[in-house]
A and B are shown apart, each in its own frame.
Chain A
Amino acid sequence: MKHSKMTLSAETMNLGFVKKVEQLSGSSVRRCFQCGKCSAGCPMRSFMEHPPNRIVRLLQLGQFERVLAGRSIWYCASCETCTTRCPNKVDLAAIMDALRKLSWDAQGPSKESLVQLANRLFIDNIRTYGRQYEMRLAAVFNLKSGKLLKDFMLGPSLFTKGKLKVFHKKNRNIGEIERIFSRIEELRRKGEAT
């Protein structure tokens, strides 16, 4: 996919998808003139098969399949270095957010990627406990991902430093947090939130 020839025509360029990304992110995609400053400063660049500037370039050509096929958008740490430094006011971090959202909704090719799994467990934890419960997050993640011993040796040192707790207290205002989640779900049902 990465090296295959690209045929451009009104049919192969999904410019409707680009409009959706622009709407969601509130940032222009066409405005980017490929200076490459985003990729130059991106701390996650070495993990991505498409660096940030290429993501935007693929979007400009309406090649959303190529964008979503890879894991690049999930490696983005949302540090916003790109957005802060962009000379042309392209909010790349917001575009990455929008792409992740669209990938998720579209049951995108990387739906089952570990990053997405981690994201989901993270949110589930917040909803159940009102705060992050690291021990549970790690345990469930390792179970579900099938990588049972992943980062296992980090446990003891985190434990002695008090970063991991076996038993976890729920947030006192767990009811209020549940109300936030319910409200977002309701808004989504009505189509008022994305």
Chain B
Amino acid sequence: MSRIGVFVCHCGENISRTVDVEKVAAEAGRLFGVAYTCDYKYMCSDPGQNLLKKAVAEHKLEGIVVAACSPRMHEKTFRNAAKAAGVNPFLCEMANIREHCSWVHEDRDEATAKAIDIVTMMVERVKRNKKLQPITVPVTKKALIIGGGIAGIQSALDIADSGHQVVLVEREPSIGGHMAQLSETFPTLDCSQCIMTPKMVDVVNHPNITLHTYAEIEAVEGYIGNFQVKVRKKARSVDMAKCTGCGVCMAKCPQKKIPNSFDKNLGFRPAIYVPFPQAVPNTPVIDRENCTWFKTGKCGVCQKVCGPGAVDYTQEDEIVVEQVGAVVVATGFQLYDIGPKPAGSAIEGYGEFGYGTIPDVIDGLTFERLASASGPTGGKIVRPSDGAEPKSVVFVQCVGSRAREKGISYCSKICCMYTAKHTMLYKHKVHDGQAYVFFMDARTPGKGYDEFWRRSIEEEEAVYIRGMVSRLYQKGDKVVVMGSDVHIGVQVEIEADLVVLATAVQPREGADTLAQKLGISYDKYHFYSEAHAKLRPVECATAGIYLAGACQGPKDIPDTVSQASAAAAKVMTLFARNELEREPIVAKVNERFCVGCLACRKVCPYGAVEEKEIRDRSGNLIKVVAYVNPGVCGGCGTCQATCPSKSVELDGYTDEQIMAMIEAL
């Protein structure tokens, strides 16, 4: 190939400020094999692309080097332009003289010299590029949703309503997540259960949704359009097909004093239980750790009283394999625990707040259960210590959040609003009570949010005090709150009956392990990372995996539902196609030289390498070689670097190309 065009972009002034683009174009013109060069202010613009197309036609160009920004930015743009001009898109390459050159250097002469080097290398590479054809892979039109909170439910319903199959996997015995635990929701104060439970029922009744509750993801293999997912369905000890949900087993179970984690351990449940009365599915599970039968081998009451004979102590964990084309991760959040630092955790507890040992210091979710009509107190707000009605309640915001010392620097986003809501719920139930709120900032960006917060102060008479609380301690039956009003500059002390801490929102425990199974990235707090913070906020960098809800970052219900629907829309876009085109940058094995050591199989992170037997015409085995499944290969090049006989190479990045690029320097 000897007719290459080099197109040098000014990127406004981003490149031309530091690099002499005209000189780069002139120098490139002297290279062997370059037939045409030019420079232009915005090569990616419509006139810029037309320049490229025109040059291809006029100068019969066979290869293209665009010296501009990173290939991550505009490779696709220029490859499409090349395709439109009749050149194989894989003969068009970007020489990155912006991120790798003009943005990081100050000296004009040196930067220009480097830009010329970069362009020279890319010209040598394009000379050796092959005309590649995109690989097509089929799409399994079935989606997996991990997590059955409001995010997972919304995604599942949207995808199922579009006519595609959905598998919803939930770790707990019932779907519903945190939203099912809430009393009322801001900023409209509508009852959470009332808007949530109909959606839960829709999920279980939807013909397109397969629901796996009390189940976890065991392993995920494959790639966009073709994932194989192993789901571990934990032994429920109750046959879901036979159980009618009558509840006799729960009523008769002699174990009645097991703290109910759904009620934040404020109430109790039996060993055979549904987490809450509106649970979906309404099938109990046996908590084997606390069940007398599983502990001592005696009892068996639930089995005796069960009319349909659904209780089955011999049930074992079951592995279900699902073939899906897309995955929506919606694993949600948990609240920061102020208790002592657990082993292996990077997050500190709060000694100054008593490490969670003061009984009347509770977190926001516990207050939700106290205020909820379906909660352990029937909606009556009482103190956990003695059951008395608290006449003064202190709310403390930013506990754990925005506390670098504790290991969390982010804002948890929902606390300002739910604390305002809590003050209102409290005032509505305890008319002569006084709510105090210690806050550092009030962050209320959202439709109707600031008005809601102001209402809690101006109409519901909550006293807001700007300043963080320094210490909490028990004094008699009161909790003393030591704070400060930074507006006045004086210390403030309140003897409270109840203290509610708005603790930080964290990703679910085990979020990192799940991410490793899925092959998606996460930040240092274990929140899952989106592909682009602004332009691809619901997609993972790993193709075919999407994010919804608080597993990606703290989020309130409206934002979670929006993101869940957005993720569903992305899945539907994927499912609208029967086949997917993949970049053909995949590894190929030279079977003549391969000795079949399969070192490549050991290092391949995608599991793309298989064994292949080569036989002669009469069927005798000649040798075993490695074979790279092009549908699975991620194009990372690890096999190429590993192969001892140099018999596997990545298209577009062959050893020959790399060596030629180095030699051109």
A5 to B489, CA, bound (A): 10
The number of chain B residues touching the other chain, given as a range, is 20 to 34
Minimal beta-carbon separation of B465 from chain A (angstroms): 8
A161 to B491, CA, bound (A): 53
- From A54-62, A96-104, A128-136, A149-157, the one touching the partner chain is A54-62
- Chain B residues within 8 Å of A7, by CB: 492-495
User: Any chain B CB within 8 A of the CB of A193?
Assistant: no
Point out the residues of chain A lying under 8 angstroms from B490, CB to CB: 2-6
Closest-by-CB residue of A relative to B491 is A5
**Contact: A6 with B491, CB < 8 Å?**
yes
In Å, the complex CA distance between A34 and B467 comes to 13
CB closest chain-A residue, reference B432: A10
A residues in contact with B458, CB < 8 Å = 28, 30-31
Interchain CB contact under 8 A, A8 and B487: no
Contacts of A6 in B (CB 8 A): 485, 488, 490-493
A161–chain B nearest beta-carbon distance, Å = 45
Give the residue among A5, A8, A10, A53 with the most B Cβ atoms within 10 A.
A8
Chain A residues whose CB sits within 8 angstroms of the CB of B461 once the complex forms: 15, 30
Query: Which residue of the partner chain B has the closest CB to A54?
Result: B488
Are B392 and A10 in contact (CB-based, < 8 A)? Answer: yes
Q: Is A13 an interface residue (CB 8 A)?
A: yes
Q: Mark B461-504, 1 if CB is under 8 A from A, else 0.
A: 10101100000000000000000010111111111000000000
Cβ contacts under 8 Å, A54 to chain B: 487-488
A173 interfacial by beta-carbon distance below 8 Å? no
Q: In the complex, are the beta carbons of B463 and A13 less than 8 A apart?
A: yes
Please, which residue of chain A has its CB at the minimum distance from the CB of B490?
A6
Whether A107 is near chain B, meaning CB under 8 Å from some CB there, is: no
CB-nearest residue of chain A to B450: A33
CB pair B434–A10 under 8 Å, yes or no, is yes
- Let me know if B391 is at the binding interface, CB within 8 A: yes
Q: How far is the CA of A58 from the CA of B465 in the complex (A)?
A: 11
| Interface residue ranges of A12-51 to B (CB < 8 Å) | 13, 15, 28, 30-31, 33-34
Residue A160, interface by CB 8 Å: no
In the complex, chain B residues whose CB is within 8 Å of the CB of A8: 436, 463, 465, 492-494
B457: CB under 8 A from chain A? yes
Chain A residue contacts of B485, Cβ below 8 A? 6, 57, 61
Contact yes or no, B463 A53, CB < 8 A: no
Residue of A nearest to B487 (CB): A57
Assess whether A5 is in contact with B488, with CB atoms less than 8 Å apart: no
Contact B492 A9 (CB under 8 A): no
A99 to B181, CA, bound (A): 47
Which residues of chain A are within 8 angstroms of B487 by Cβ–Cβ distance?
34, 53-54, 57
Contacts of A13 in B (CB 8 A): 434, 463
Mark out the residues of chain A between 58 and 76 whose CB falls within 8 Å of any chain B CB in the assembled complex. 58, 60-61
- CB within 8 Å of A: which of B480-536? 485, 487-495
User: B-facing mask of A93-137, CB < 8 A → 1, else 0?
Assistant: 000000000000000000000000000000000000000000000
Bound Cα distance A182, B434 (Å): 45
Closest A residue to B494 by beta carbon equals: A8
B493 contacts across to A, CB distance below 8 A: 5-8
Give the complex CA separation of A54 and B454 in angstroms. Answer: 19
Complex CA–CA separation, A10 to B436 (angstroms): 11
Q: Is the CB of A58 within 8 A of B488?
A: yes
> How many contacts between A and B, using CB within 8 angstroms?
55
> A5-B491, A6-B492, A28-B458 known; A61 and B463 CB under 8 Å?
yes
Contacts of A31 in B (CB 8 A): 454, 458
Q: How far is the CA of A30 from the CA of B423 in the complex (A)?
A: 15
Given A10-B434, A30-B458, A54-B487, A60-B463 contact (CB < 8 Å): yes
In the docked arrangement, what's the CA distance between A33 and B638, Å? 59
Do B495 and A57 touch (CB < 8 A)? no
Inter-chain CA distance A10–B435, complex, in Å, is 10
By CB atoms of chain A within 10 A, which of B391, B488, B490 has the most? B488
Task: Select from chain B the residue with minimum beta-carbon distance to A29.
Answer: B458
Contact of B457 among A15, A30, A53 (CB under 8 A): A30
Contact call A10/B492, Cβ cutoff below 8 A: no
Q: Which residues of A contact B391 (CB under 8 A)?
A: 10
Q: Residue of B at shortest CB range from A5?
A: B491
CB pair A57–B463 under 8 Å, yes or no, is no
Interface string of B390-402 (1 = CB under 8 A from A): 0110000000000
Task: Tell me the nearest residue of chain A to B481, going by C-beta.
Answer: A8
* Residue on B nearest A57 in the bound complex, by CB: B487
Q: How far is the CA of A7 from the CA of B466 in the complex (A)?
A: 15
Q: Which of B392, B434, B436, B487 has most A Cβ within 10 Å?
A: B487
For B463, what are the chain A residues with a Cβ–Cβ distance below 8 Å?
8, 13, 60-61
CB pair A5 B466 closer than 8 Å: no
A3 and B495 CA atoms in complex are apart in Å by 20
Across the interface, do A5 and B392 meet the contact criterion of CB distance under 8 Å?
no
Nearest A residue to B453 via CB reads: A33
B65 to chain A, nearest CB (A): 56
Min C-beta distance of B496 to chain A, whole Å: 9
- Chain B nearest Cβ from A17, distance in angstroms: 14
A contact residues around B465 at 8 Å (CB): 8, 61
**Given that A30-B458, A30-B461, A34-B466 are contacting pairs, would A9 and B392 also be in contact in the complex, using a CB cutoff of 8 Å?**
yes
CB distance from B121 to the nearest CB of A (A): 57
- Which chain A positions have C-beta within 8 A of B454? 31, 33
Residues of chain B contacted by A15 (CB below 8 angstroms): 461
Cβ distance A45 to chain B, nearest Cβ, rounded Å: 15
A143 to B594, CA, bound (A): 114
CA distance A58 to B490 in the complex (A): 11
> What 0/1 readout, one digit per residue, does chain B (372-392) give for beta carbons within 8 Å of chain A?
000000000000000000011
Extra 8 A-B pairs, beta carbons < 8 Å, given A3-B490, A6-B493, A8-B463? A4-B490, A8-B492, A13-B434, A28-B458, A30-B461, A31-B454, A33-B454, A53-B487
Q: B interface vs A, CB < 8 Å?
A: 391-392, 434, 436, 454, 457-458, 461, 463, 465-466, 485, 487-495
Q: List 24 A-B contacts (CB under 8 A).
A: A2-B490, A3-B489, A3-B490, A4-B490, A6-B485, A7-B494, A7-B495, A8-B436, A8-B465, A8-B492, A8-B494, A9-B392, A9-B434, A10-B434, A13-B434, A15-B461, A30-B457, A30-B458, A31-B454, A33-B454, A54-B487, A57-B485, A58-B488, A61-B465
What 10 pairs across the A-B complex have the smallest Cβ distances?
A: A5-B491, A57-B487, A30-B458, A8-B494, A7-B493, A6-B492, A6-B490, A34-B487, A10-B434, A30-B457
